[in-house]
Chains A and B, each alone.
Chain A
């Protein structure tokens, strides 16, 4: 059983190659301009096509060697990148632990601390030159293990060592427990280049979503990635172990409700037909006005039945978090709210009738 994960860093879509040119061929002693390379297949593709991109004296970039050498080393190594890309990662020489200690992108100066550099290209306009210099080890050659670009950070099956999450629908399985339940989990991945740390350092979306998928293979020729959970990395703080694996914690995002403040609210003289559903709908709208991207909630069918019996005369609550407001209603009416792993919204339901 194979699994994949995607850390969703950008909602934008694109369909063109990202790194469009590496045009100072003479300086870099690269015999084939990247502008001649087209057909990047997806956002994971390297701008260097395996076996086709030639460097130096005709060496091709090969996945087997997983590197290319730039002979006749010159101090500055430059590439040009179009800003269609959100992020560019340059992988340096891990065998020799050699990397440039100074990287200039446009007018911005970076000082890499590890053999990979993540650059947020969205800060730059047009085509931008990346200049790498002051190499840590002045070897007679430099080696770059790869350059990739991405909008969303893909994590392949081979890089995932562990996934776990809880999917509770209530806080207590043995006793009636009402209210809002937020679930969480974690994923551990191999990240010897410390890409996630670099992403954190350059300040990617502080709380990106992560989608977890597993691969369904109806036959040996077909693979369907199926999303079985979309979670929220509330605190994007990669935790590394000595084996170069990195752990990320995620939640189902309902915890966001704790910090979402709802103003005080009162409905008096409700029509006789007012039901809990009417009230919940109003809460939904209030929260939507505050943040249209908040995780909303849907109503289970059984709630409609409950609504027949529960007629509200007056509703009032003090200013508080959306979590607390909903929890109070849940307590009063015997409801509970949870979010299933692959749902974008929460479900409000009741155990009545069972």
Chain B
């Protein structure tokens, strides 16, 4: 993974940016201020989020929940805990087994933390707007102490008959990991919320498992879910979650398509990586998907990286390798920033 191959400008015979203004709102933000959600809301301070409860989709001091930011730099962890807005929640709020909560909208964001615990980016994580009954089943407890707050992993459950999404425990926990060059994947962000029992309505929750139409029940995958408002929840959960991300993908990454020759490619460390005449004839000159590359282009200042991320050259991942031979071989690389 650390083998980053340099694509010299002399090997590149065409560069096309696949991004347009509309599909690429923002790639990297070094500030967590003034973050614009896809739905148009502007969050001046993304450390504070709102979740609207049913019956009050707009802000109301009595019915929105405030997420507070609690960082733990030593662990590279960040947790968001949901408070009721009128003080610190206690475990007593969550001890009502079977009590559901209904809500119309859930907006979550997560932060990206660098190696020393500084917040570097903010990524939209997930936003669910569940117009129909969504039960938050305060089930059995399995608390972890986390940043002074009680949080718990939960499992989303989906009733394929009623098209209802259930959150059967008292909270959600999303975790994402960020790849750090030269290191293994490491936890960089942990987002947890839990809901206060003060506003719960008691109502029985349908048991959803056991019917033949059930698909897969799983813990929420911690992919880069984005902000989205869905007015219907009328499809398979897997499809729903997939669509949710696709439709709300506002953090487009830089994507380029390059026309390259087959030549002698070296890593940025100077090691021969790909060759058309190497004695190591397995080092074929065609790129493969998932390889890391830094393309260079000619500029008035000489050869420079195609794209910069701050002071560093943007590292791209090869996501497509098209090949063409009509007497002369060409490889067309589609590359996406990491």
Contact = CB atoms under 8 A, between A and B. Distances in A.
A302 B185 contact: yes
Contact of B216 (A174, A175, A329): A329
Interface in A174-222: 174-178, 185, 214, 216-218
A57 interface: no
A173 B334 contact: yes
Contacts of B322: 164-168
Interface stretch (B29-37, B64-72, B82-90, B278-286): B278-286
A162 interface: yes
Shortest 7 CB-CB contacts between residues of A and residues of B? A332-B238, A167-B321, A334-B223, A224-B281, A331-B242, A169-B289, A163-B325
Given A174-B255, A310-B219, A226 B242 contact: no
A331 B284 contact: no
B219, B262, B317, B325, most chain A CB atoms within 10 A: B325
B38 to A, nearest CB: 13
A354 interface: yes
Given A331-B239, A332-B221, A340-B289, A170 B319 contact: yes
Contacts of B317: 354
Interface stretch (A64-72, A113-121, A344-352): A344-352
A312 B333 CA distance: 37
A318 to B, nearest CB: 8
B321 A341 contact: yes
A164 B331 CA distance: 9
A34 B154 CA distance: 78
A292 to B, nearest CB: 27
Interface in B310-338: 317, 319-329, 334, 336, 338
B238 A328 contact: yes
Contacts of B290: 169, 347, 349
Interface in A241-287: 276
B306 interface: no
Given A166-B320, A305-B185, A352 B334 contact: no
Contact of B279 (A3, A167, A185, A218): A218
A333 interface: yes
Contacts of B252: 174-175
B176 interface: yes
A315 interface: yes
A310 B281 contact: no
Interface residues of B, number: 62
A333 B237 CA distance: 11
B219 A311 contact: yes
B4 interface: no
Interface string B221-264: 11110000000000011110110011001001001000000100
B56 interface: no
Given A177-B246, A315-B216, A341 B286 contact: yes
A336 to B, nearest CB: 10
Contacts of B24: 174
B204 interface: no
Contacts of A214: 276, 284, 329
Given A314-B216, A331-B242, A351-B223, 7 more contacts: A1-B325, A3-B329, A161-B327, A175-B249, A309-B221, A333-B238, A340-B288
Contact of B218 (A175, A177, A224, A332): A332
A30 interface: no
A141 interface: no
A173 B17 CA distance: 11
A288 interface: no
Given A173-B319, A176-B224, A214-B284, A1 B255 contact: no
Contact of A173 (B179, B284, B320): B320
Interface in A317-344: 317, 328-329, 331-334, 338, 340-342
B178 A353 contact: yes
A163, A169, A306, A315, most chain B CB atoms within 10 A: A169
Contacts of B106: none
A216 B326 contact: no
B209 interface: yes
Interface of A: 1, 3, 160-170, 173-178, 185, 214, 216-218, 224, 226, 228-229, 276, 302, 305-306, 309-317, 328-329, 331-334, 338, 340-342, 347, 349-354
B12 interface: no
Nearest to A169: B289
B179 A353 contact: yes
A306 B221 contact: yes
Nearest to A217: B277
B3 interface: no
Nearest to B319: A169
B278 A305 contact: no
B223 A316 contact: no
B23 interface: yes
B215 interface: yes
B43 interface: no
A158 B245 CA distance: 49
B324 A226 contact: no
A171 B30 CA distance: 30
B218 A216 contact: no
Given A228-B284, A310-B219, A331-B239, A338 B325 contact: no
B125 to A, nearest CB: 13
Contacts of A216: 275-278, 281, 284
A329 B238 CA distance: 7
Contacts of B326: 161-162
B212 interface: yes
Nearest to A177: B246
B216 A312 contact: yes
A218 B276 CA distance: 8
A57 to B, nearest CB: 43
B222 to A, nearest CB: 6
